[in-house]
């Protein structure tokens, strides 16, 4: 009820401004007794995935806290894990404004942020591991001006920088908002990237006596053959996990709506079926060898249960949190207990 009233106010602001206001409100309000109240209302449902103990299977997706400034504030909502970023080696402003659009009648959002990042140095100065046994994932990407033939260097730079801060690291090669980024999902780039990342992981694990799992985030706009070749690559290189899925360039779910023709990635209710299908297809090939984190269109506990039934081990929320608020964290956790 409280969030419904707050949403009435927030949805009258520009979406990106509303996002900033929400972060500040969370940081100010969701602490102390309020934080304890929210965490207590979300049931524990421990599970071990990628060798990591999660107190519940509900996570916050990357994008809500791009610069690692609000990890504790979001963790206080009761999440079992929080993923921050995407962080790039150098600061970049992202795409021009406006770049965030609500499609309220379909409970969806289009964004074309374009890896808006204050850079790795700033990120490392601000990111903190959340208290309360909340797992921290860090999502890394390449700078938009870095050509794909040099992308490996950007990912390795970020990986080395965040390694000691992260419980797992997500390799983002699937955002539609950086020109050419999704080409890194293709065979010609993918194997070289995964090979370099796994070699770096082994070196860092030996140096620090601590293994940090590597997760790859994939697009929802994949054909069956694409999924097959990517899954085979993940198995060959022993990738630790997959996040399925990122945002979509397909507009079928919002056809005829205002803003439907805006460029960018579509998230929310409109991509629920597409994300579920990609999770199913990956799980058919990966089985229990590589766990999947289900993301995309989870707007209710029932949606989260469908993701788990499709083959996901954990789930993440993003757009559902915008439309439903903190109650969605508890609802999903209860449904998956």
Instruction: Please list the active-site residues.
Output: 175
Residue 167: how many other CB atoms lie within 10 Å: 21
Structure tokens at 58: 């509900």
Measured torsion, CA atoms of residues 285, 288, 291, 294, in degrees rounded to the nearest 10: 70
Structure tokens at 81: 């894990």
Place of tokens 């992260």: 166
- DSSP state at residue 50: T
Structure tokens at 287: 């089985």
Strand residues in 231-313 grouped as ranges (E): 241-244, 265-268, 292-294
List CB contacts of 238: < 8 A, sequence separation 6 or more: 198
Rounded to 5°, angle at Cα 68 from 62 and 72? 95
Measure the CA–CA gap between 152 and 188, rounded to whole angstroms.
Answer: 13
Measure the CA–CA gap between 7 and 168, rounded to whole angstroms.
Answer: 32
Give the containing element (helix H, strand E) for 122: helix 120-126
Place of tokens 């993940």: 234
Measure the CA–CA gap between 22 and 59, rounded to whole angstroms.
Answer: 18
Helix (H, G, I), strand (E, B) or coil at 132: coil
Helix, strand, coil shares of the chain, percent, nearest 5, are: 45, 15, 40
The beta-carbon contacts of 91-94 under 8 Å, at least 24 apart in sequence, are 91/117, 91/118, 91/119, 91/122, 92/116, 92/117, 92/119, 92/143, 92/144, 92/145, 94/177
**Rg of the chain in Å (alpha carbons):** 18
Structural contact between residues 248 and 278, judged by C-beta atoms closer than 8 angstroms: no
């Amino acid at each position: 009820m409280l969030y419904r009233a707050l949403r009435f106010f927030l949805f009258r602001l520009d979406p990106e401004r509303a996002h900033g206001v929400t972060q500040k409100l969370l940081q100010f309000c969701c602490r102390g007794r309020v934080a304890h109240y929210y965490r207590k209302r979300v049931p524990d449902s421990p599970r071990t995935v990628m060798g990591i103990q999660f107190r519940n299977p509900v996570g916050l997706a990357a994008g809500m806290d791009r610069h690692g400034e609000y990890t504790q504030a979001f963790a206080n909502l009761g999440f079992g894990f929080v993923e921050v970023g995407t962080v790039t080696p150098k600061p970049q402003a992202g795409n021009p404004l406006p770049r965030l659009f609500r499609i309220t009648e379909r409970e969806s959002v289009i964004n074309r942020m374009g890896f808006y990042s204050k850079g790795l140095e700033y990120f490392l100065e601000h990111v903190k591991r959340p208290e309360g046994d909340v797992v921290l994932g860090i999502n890394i990407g390449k700078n938009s001006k870095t050509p794909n033939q040099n992308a490996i260097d950007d990912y390795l730079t970020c990986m080395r920088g965040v390694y000691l801060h992260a419980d797992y690291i997500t390799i983002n090669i699937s955002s539609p908002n950086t020109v050419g980024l999704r080409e890194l999902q293709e065979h010609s780039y993918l194997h070289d990237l995964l090979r370099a990342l796994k070699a770096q992981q082994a070196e860092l694990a030996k140096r620090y006596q601590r293994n940090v799992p590597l997760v790859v985030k994939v697009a929802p706009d994949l054909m069956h053959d694409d999924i097959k070749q990517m899954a085979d690559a993940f198995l060959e290189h022993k990738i630790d996990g997959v996040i399925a899925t990122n945002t979509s360039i397909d507009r079928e779910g919002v056809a005829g709506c205002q803003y439907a023709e805006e460029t960018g990635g579509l998230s929310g209710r409109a991509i629920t079926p597409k994300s579920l299908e990609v999770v199913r297809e990956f799980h058919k090939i990966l089985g229990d060898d590589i766990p999947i984190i289900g993301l995309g269109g989870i707007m209710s506990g029932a949606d989260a249960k469908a993701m788990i039934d499709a083959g996901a081990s954990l789930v993440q929320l993003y757009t559902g949190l915008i439309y439903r608020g903190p109650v969605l964290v508890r609802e999903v956790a209860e449904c998956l207990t």
